[in-house]
Amino acid sequence: MKKSPFISALGTNVSRGDVLRNKVSGSAIYVNDIQRPGMVFGKAVRSPYAHALVAGIDASRALAYPGVLAVLTAADIPGTNLTGPRTVKDQPVLNGEHVRFVGEAVALVAAENEAAAIRGAELVEVSYTPLPIVDDPERSLEPGAPLLHDKGNLCHAFTISRGNVDAVIKTADLVVSRTYKTQMVDHSAVEPDGAVAEKSEDGVTVWVCSKGVHLDQGEIARVLGLPLSKVRVIAPTVGGSFGSKPDHPMACMAALIAWKLGRPAKVVLGREECFLVKTKRHPYILHYTHAVRKDGTILGVRVKAVADAGAYSSYTPTVTTRGLIQAAGTYAVPNVDLEVRAAYTNHPVTGAFRGYGVPQFTFAVERQMDLIARELGLDPIEVRRINVLREGDPISTGQVMRHVRMEEILDAGQSRMQALDAEDRASGRLQEGTRFRRAWGMSTAFYGLGRTGMADKAEVTCRLEDDGRFHLFVGCPDLGQGSDVCMAQIAAEELGVDAQLVHVTSADTLLTRDAGTSTATRVTYVVGNAVKDAAAQLKARLLEARGEEELRSDPDWLANLAETCKGCGLDLHCEGHYRTGNTNEMDEHGQGEPYGTYTFGAQWSRVRVDSWTWKVDVERIVACYDAGRVINPALVAGQIEGGAVMALGYGLSEELLLKNGIVVNPNWGAYQLPAATELPDISQVILETRNPDGPFGAVGIGELTAVPGAASIANAVSAALGVEIQELPIAPHKLSEFVAQSWSNSQEANVKKEAE
């Protein structure tokens, strides 16, 4: 037999053709680039009040303005006015009754051009009756708080309990209790949300920057009162997501205008609108208590957390549930009492954000780990080594961990950190006098892949074309992370062909089956397994058509595929399926198997703190992750670098500031994203341990890489200054307050000790 010419498609930097061909050249088509004949433009009329009743809407002045074609209100919606993800649908597309946050849409102006639409929206006169504002999640849940929804102000609650935490707190050698706070942040994707819709005889086609076209299809169909078959949704090039996109009301607005006026319609949010109305990362108040033995073994943990859901549910139920599942961290804790409550407020809606609720809990639990080490006089990494999850250990839900390599991650990352530190000391880079204080901090993290507490599934199609190439149809969008090329590499590996011979069409509800959303770090794991299945079926049919031995002996078998299969009577396309089989809904105690598999990692951060200005610079990062098996090294490296940088902003500077429900920094000039000059050296350590649940052993790490960073920075700053960081972000003005408070507490402790 001749040697097969095939070289593995995995572990190679297969080029993303769209980058050079489209993005670098500037020819990529984003939503705002789409032009249709006779297209009109839409702009929402938005509430200036955080909480008010709508007393009346007068559109006469707007309708008299040149170019304004229509002013649509809730009465013009032919179907259901409420939208939302799969769990709860409570946010109106157009709210003509009871607005609950600044920027909520009450009407929609359609005009011949964008300028007329903007001016028309300004001319619509809306009468409001202001209501008391609820701007604190804990106060929202108190008796007598202003009612934001008929069902009350509790958006969601979830508990996880196992063992007896009260008992171990009483018998523990050490009990560590602290309260932590995290802030609201914005996704700040470069591309603003937008949609273009066009009516046809068959229904409506909508182009939208989306993370899930089939999900959008369902929402648009509900709002227009149409069957799914009458709505086609396509995702063109997407300019970043990180958990955002689409804003469901916005996507439905373009479809509504097109449906009502019979002309193509475009609705694109302005940058300030993005800050006001797009979903945000949840702020939290987290009360943690750890019970510990004197040798560092954790006996139990109690968590009471309150999240700010904002005005509507969005993804809050699943975001807060996921966060709580991982609230005890990467540690084997036999006794847990975990509770999260999410409260409605008159703040922007909070929802899906990279890390999906886990970074907030990770910040708190990893600060606790450092405090435990300090109180016991132990090395922080040794306390972690004592407690990390190992093969066969259960997490807080009782799910037994399989394929966990935390000890290897700690060893590999620590070794790299020590080598880099020694290198810098030898070079003299660390000698700058007493003004600057340096320290390393670390954090571990893990992340469940896929949808929470239910079976996750995907369907894809693989087809052999007449030219002998393969065509893969995948429903989930490529958001810029490179999922299309990863899916092509998985298909190519299974087929035994070069990845360049697999073409991918993604995110078009007419052409692709429902593979789910590009969220939850599920694409490589869930969708990749479906791709592998489709390719395996197609390969089996091809081998059957022409005996496998003969096919394998022909070095040119790929070129002969089309000719081989012509007239053979085979159906030359196959549907691939995958469904997580070991996931289930959790019981009343939060016990169950919420995810099919997990990924693990850790980050080390070295900070330099200026004791004059309290500015924190992160000088080095060591990021160590178990990727299962790397499909495309460049894409994995990009995810790790991007996640670390996103966590840098979360830890040090980013915060959406609110006053009386109003966003006071709704632009990139006032919202402090990290600058390119502030980015540290990021050293990556990637383990490949081949997770048996993933296709060819591969699993996703996209969201996990944004989880441990802020916690590792907080631990480093705490170590450098000897203070307790209990709140994010660690901006200079906040850090000076932490230092002052720490000094005050230290003085009080000394006075008390002397008095005794």
The DSSP-derived string for 24-69 is ITT----GGG---TT-EEEEEEE-S-SSEEEEEEE-HHHHTSTTEE
CA distance 328 to 337: 10
- pLDDT at residue 751, rounded to an integer: 55
Query: Regarding beta strands 40-46 and 91-92, do their DSSP bridges make them parallel or antiparallel, or are they unpaired?
Result: unpaired
DSSP 624: E
pLDDT of residue 85: 87
pLDDT for residue 368 = 98
User: In what helix (H) or strand (E) does residue 663 lie, and over which residues does it extend?
Assistant: strand 662-663
C-alpha Rg value of the chain to the nearest Å? 27
Tokens read off for 643: 């996640």
Q: In terms of Cα–Cα distance, which of 739, 425, 733 is closest to 606?
A: 425
pTM reported for the whole predicted model:
0.95
Beta carbons within 8 Å of 201's beta carbon, 6+ residues apart: none
For domain 284-451+588-744, which architecture applies? 2-Layer Sandwich (3.30)
* Cα–Cα distance measured from residue 674 to residue 653, given in angstroms and rounded to the nearest whole number: 7
| Structure-block tokens of residue 616 | 């924190």
DSSP string spanning 460-511? EEEEE-TTS-EEEEE-S---SS-HHHHHHHHHHHHHTS-GGGEEEEESBTTT
Partners of 105 in the beta sheet?
46
For strands 231-234 and 203-208, give the pairing: parallel
Instruction: Confirm if 91 and 84 have CB atoms less than 8 A apart.
Output: yes
Q: CA-CA distance, 236 to 208, in Å (whole number)?
A: 7
- Interior angle at CA 113, CA 111 and CA 118, nearest 5: 70
Residue showing tokens 């944004």: 706
Q: What is the largest CA-CA distance in the chain?
A: 97
Q: Give the integer Cα–Cα distance in Å for 369 and 362.
A: 10
* Best CA proximity match to 736, nearest among 751, 725, 747: 725
- Give me the pLDDT at residue 17, please: 65
Which residues are within 8 A (CB) of 221 and not within 5 positions of it... i.e. 6 or more apart? Answer: 79, 227, 228, 230, 231
Domain topology for 34-131+193-268:
Aldehyde Oxidoreductase; domain 3 (3.90.1170)
Residue 22: φ, ψ to 5°: -120, -55
Which residues are registered as beta bridge partners of 445? 601
Distance (Å, whole) CA 196 – CA 29:
12
DSSP secondary structure, 217-243, as one string: HHHHHHHHT--GGGEEEE-------TT
Give 527's DSSP letter: I
Q: State the span(s) of the chain assigned CATH 3.30.365.10.
A: 17-27+457-579, 284-451+588-744
Considering the chain, tell me which residue range(s) the CATH 3.90.1170.50 domain(s) occupy.
34-131+193-268
Q: What whole-number distance in Å separates Cα of residue 210 and Cα of residue 196?
A: 12
* Interacting residues of 587 by C-beta distance below 8 A, sequence separation 6+: none
Residues with Cβ within 8 Å of residue 323, at least 6 apart in sequence: 284, 305, 307, 340, 356, 357, 358, 360, 361
Record the tokens describing residue 97, joined without a space. 């009754």
Percent of the chain with pLDDT over 90: 85
Q: What is the mean pLDDT of each run of 10 residues along the chain (756 residues)?
A: 58 77 82 97 98 98 98 98 90 97 98 98 98 98 97 98 98 98 97 96 95 96 97 96 86 97 97 96 98 98 98 97 98 98 98 97 98 98 98 98 96 98 92 87 98 95 89 96 96 92 96 96 97 95 72 58 57 91 92 97 97 96 97 96 98 97 96 94 97 96 97 98 96 91 69 58
C-beta contacts of 61-65 below 8 A and 24+ residues apart: 61/123, 61/124, 61/125, 62/109, 62/120, 62/121, 62/123, 62/124, 63/120, 65/111, 65/116, 65/119, 65/120, 65/123
d(CA 391, CA 401): 6
Q: Which residue has the tokens 């980015």?
A: 679
Amino acid at 484: D
Q: Which residues on adjacent β-strands are paired with residue 307?
A: 284, 342
Q: Which residues contact residue 184 at a Cβ distance below 8 angstroms, ignoring those fewer than 6 apart? A: 280, 281, 282, 283, 308, 347, 348, 350, 655, 656, 658
Q: Is 108 helix (H, G, I), strand (E, B) or coil?
A: strand
Q: Are strands 125-130 and 82-83 parallel, antiparallel or unpaired?
A: unpaired
Do the bridges between strand 658-659 and strand 662-663 make them parallel or antiparallel, or are there none, so unpaired? antiparallel
3-class DSSP assignment, residue 129: strand
DSSP state of 161: E
Distance, CA of 110 to CA of 71 (rounded, Å): 6
- Per-residue b/e over 403-441, b at no fewer than 16 CB within 10 Å? bbbbeebbebbbebbeebbeebeeeeeeeeeeebbbbbb
Chain Cα centroid distance, residue 201: 37
Give the bridge partners for 461, in sequence order: 473, 575
Of 674, 648, 599, which is closest to residue 444 (Cα–Cα)? 599
Residue whose entry in the numeric block shows the structure tokens 């509770």: 339
CATH T-level topology, domain 17-27+457-579: Aldehyde Oxidoreductase; domain 4 (3.30.365)
Q: Of 429, 488, 347, which is closest to residue 620 (Cα–Cα)?
A: 429
Cα–Cα distance measured from residue 673 to residue 344, given in angstroms and rounded to the nearest whole number:
27
**Residue 633, C-beta contacts closer than 8 angstroms, at least 6 positions apart:** 11, 12, 13, 686
